[in-house]
Chain A
């Protein structure tokens, strides 16, 4: 069935999958947000233990989402994979190191004779929480603001800044840096909101419930400020358009606003997403406790939809999704960066597994979440982190 799709349709299908994976990944960053709140929401050892174990049952899914995002990008848009990872070397290396530290920390933090001590592993978790959210958010913003690279006729890519991607967050002489960072910080605060909502749902403890609710309140304002700053900016800036026939890239005023207007469905998805996030926050802060427990579902789904729509805006409607401000014509589009028709077709069949994967994750989680985490369980479970 996929063989009959046009090359462009396959490229669009795969961009949608990448966008969806991006959305799922940002939602799953609640684990990282939670890791920055361990000692804010937990004041006693048992409370911290409950928080860690609550996250500890989900962390490797976030990790897996990141890995799958990398693999899917490689398989479907290899030129993006080679240009971005090989170019913005230090950005990706710092993100990866943060994840390396995370991967051992849950398992080792309370094990006897763990050499570095519980606090060190908890610090690793904090570092991962901070870096993964801010850096990944900032990196996504560059889909709209552009990076410094060129691509040769043989498709070899060359990054044109000695700072290897760090300039995108640290070059304060460039306005776009603030736009990039605003999305990084918005994702950081969003992840803390989502984490708080997740704890309210997953842990059966009055004190943590109350503190998590307060935390949602405190993070909501900075999240909204940074997110709106980012959103307004990308709606008014010039965007990277390409001619569907000649493939020549040019700057177009209000490009992303035009994209949303040209694709009303994407606009609706984005609006629904934003409203759901706000509704989730509202339920947690103002509604009853029972409503608060369900708030994660609204904010979580809202996050996925919003990021999904944002990424579609960056790549659809003949827009360069990974633009170069060094050499406009080197910009990557879903058409010039993708795999061959054959590979996209083969991978599209593989993508049919995704609903099946989601189904078993949902089933396993619902089995595991039937009983929320309690103090008693923490004391009894010998495997607890």
Chain B
């Protein structure tokens, strides 16, 4: 089947629904991942020092944690099932690999989170101090373990390893569990995502505390929280930058098209400069891009080559090189990949028919052709290679927003920590305003990070093997349109309720002074 035979409206609505549900879910998850550790640190200080104020501090942030956690759970359940409901062909094609991390996530992480969440909230007067503290740590470990497994699953889609295709069952089957778990993409993705989540949580704690100081309320709680948050945040933001850098190299290696889109690089270059800040003049057409379509840009010489390969003079291929190929640099063109993909698809069909007719020699020959070309299987669904290019401006702007904000956060943590330790924070009102306004920016950074990862890899659900169009369920688009709007309405209503409750909790807090 060719692209023209697919119901593209269904594909797009299914994508829209997945994007909607995932983006909503991701509004809440990072705060859970990081705040759970911040709570554990605060409660540890309470248990160590025995000072009541630390118990009140812990309890206050715990209340906000729970409000956020509830809606995170609400938006999360659909994602466990959406691969089946909306991407059922995907679920078979790679279910043998992809299902495992999801199941492990449930067994290893979700039970731990939900069991000890109840102890953490309702156990203050029911269980011992030690068991309570352990429970708080286990909630943090549980939620971060769940991030591990779902990110391993996601990383596998970006960089499918440790599997082989079984033509008998028409699916990919797992060959090596450890290769999948410890693939460099998985490791980087996990470390970069959780460290960014810790940064976002630290910004949240910092910003809310800054608001207290601006309003001259709960100063004892706010000052202490800011020290914890900026220390935690500073360490994690440096870790985030390092893992982000490593991730970029990994993307360059396994998803060069995504990498070129992130940088808006249409024509490959040696000594490639990094566009630090740039704006497109008008939406560039991938068919015939012109370099002058940049309205303005600030470049750092050689940095892109260095970022991609650790060699400042190396060649970095652009979108044009990938589509049209570049013999000098050993790049197979998308035109050739499409040809090979088509051979693989035809050979698989032939293999199936020959098997049915018990024609072993034909089956064997078909299998040989299939195996030689399977590497580019997914390309075979297309005729026009330009359909295999992601939305470049979206990927570019998302990437640059994410990176720019990440750098800003490092600076914020550094300053708040210095002023905090010196006890000067309440007087630096400009700093407090920046910290407060960093909260929406942290959310923006999280969402743009998700967009780089997910829009940048389009049209692939499984890199090179399966495009979105062959992954969708065989279902009428009307059903998907209805559920899309239902999710939109329900999640928005719940989000408004969540924000109202959260703000009220912050406003009505009375921390009880220094004791």
Contact = CB atoms under 8 A, between A and B. Distances in A.
B162 to A, nearest CB: 10
Interface majority SS (helix, strand, loop, mixed), chain A: helix
Interface string B481-515: 00100100010011011101101110010000000
A272 interface: no
B95 interface: yes
A63 B486 CA distance: 21
A157 B131 contact: no
B91 A82 contact: yes
B287 interface: no
A361 B74 contact: no
A164 B478 CA distance: 12
Contacts, number: 264
Nearest to A371: B126
Given A60-B114, A74-B83, A75-B100, A340 B71 contact: no
A114 B102 contact: no
B118 A60 contact: yes
Nearest to A377: B125
B10 to A, nearest CB: 12
Contacts of B62: 383
A82 B177 contact: no
A28 to B, nearest CB: 11
B393 interface: no
Contacts of A85: 81, 83-85, 88, 91
9 contacts: A64-B111, A68-B110, A71-B80, A75-B103, A92-B81, A93-B85, A104-B497, A157-B474, A368-B119
Interface of B: 59, 62-63, 66-67, 69-71, 73-75, 77-78, 80-81, 83-89, 91-92, 95-100, 102-108, 110-119, 121-127, 131, 135, 166, 169-171, 173-175, 177, 352, 356, 473-476, 479, 483, 486, 490, 493-494, 496-498, 500-501, 503-505, 508
Given A81-B95, A340-B96, A70 B80 contact: yes
A340 B9 CA distance: 34
Contact of B114 (A63, A114, A354): A63
Contacts of B96: 78, 339-340, 343
Nearest to A91: B85
A340 B88 CA distance: 18
Given A86-B473, A107-B66, A99 B77 contact: yes
Contacts of A79: 92, 95
A156 B89 contact: yes
Given A68-B111, A86-B473, A107-B70, A78 B89 contact: no
Contacts of A97: 486, 490
Given A63-B114, A343-B174, A153 B352 contact: yes
B67 to A, nearest CB: 6
Nearest to B501: A111
A159 interface: yes
Given A156-B89, A157-B88, 16 more contacts: A70-B84, A74-B103, A81-B95, A85-B88, A86-B475, A87-B473, A89-B475, A93-B486, A99-B74, A113-B504, A115-B496, A157-B474, A342-B174, A346-B100, A357-B112, A367-B123
A100 B84 contact: no
Contacts of B59: 382-383
The 8 closest A-B pairs by CB, nearest first: A86-B88, A85-B84, A78-B95, A68-B106, A103-B74, A75-B99, A74-B99, A82-B91
A159 B475 contact: yes
Contacts of A340: 96, 166, 169, 173-174
Contact of A108 (B70, B85, B166, B490): B70
Nearest to A362: B115
Contacts of B486: 93, 97
Interface in A305-353: 339-340, 342-343, 346-347, 350-351, 353
B167 to A, nearest CB: 10
Given A82-B92, A339-B99, A357-B107, A367 B80 contact: no
A119 interface: no
Given A64-B111, A357-B111, A370-B126, A57 B67 contact: no
A153 to B, nearest CB: 6
B292 to A, nearest CB: 47
Given A86-B84, A381-B122, A103 B501 contact: no
Given A90-B479, A115-B500, A368 B107 contact: no
A103 B25 CA distance: 13
Interface residues of A, number: 77
A383 B115 CA distance: 17
B71 A81 contact: no
Given A72-B103, A74-B84, A86-B86, A113 B91 contact: no
Contacts of B85: 85-86, 89, 92-93
B115 A81 contact: no
A32 interface: no
A180 interface: no
B485 to A, nearest CB: 12
Contacts of B108: 350, 353
Nearest to A114: B501
B137 to A, nearest CB: 13
Given A78-B92, A86-B85, A92-B81, A63 B111 contact: no
Contacts of A66: 77
B31 to A, nearest CB: 14
A115 B118 CA distance: 25
A361 B111 contact: yes
Given A64-B106, A89-B85, A104-B494, A153 B170 contact: yes
Interface in A32-79: 53, 57-58, 60-61, 63-64, 66-68, 70-72, 74-76, 78-79
Contact of A107 (B67, B352, B479): B67
A154 interface: yes
A172 interface: no
A93 B475 CA distance: 13
Contacts of A70: 80-81, 84, 102, 106
Contacts of A361: 111, 115
B490 A368 contact: no
A86 B110 CA distance: 24
A196 interface: no
B45 to A, nearest CB: 20
B177 A346 contact: yes
Contact of A103 (B77, B80, B100): B77
A147 interface: no
A350 B103 contact: yes
A107 B103 CA distance: 26
B501 A113 contact: yes
Nearest to B114: A60
A159 to B, nearest CB: 7
A175 interface: no
Contacts of A93: 85, 483, 486
A41 to B, nearest CB: 21
Contact of A343 (B78, B100, B126, B356): B100
Contacts of B497: 104, 108, 114-116
Contact of B474 (A53, A67, A107, A156): A156
B88 A82 contact: yes
Greatest chain B CB density within 10 A among A70, A71, A83, A153 is at A71
Nearest to B176: A342
Nearest to A62: B114
A112 B460 CA distance: 45
Interface string A133-164: 00000000000000000000111111100101
A154 B67 CA distance: 45
B80 to A, nearest CB: 5
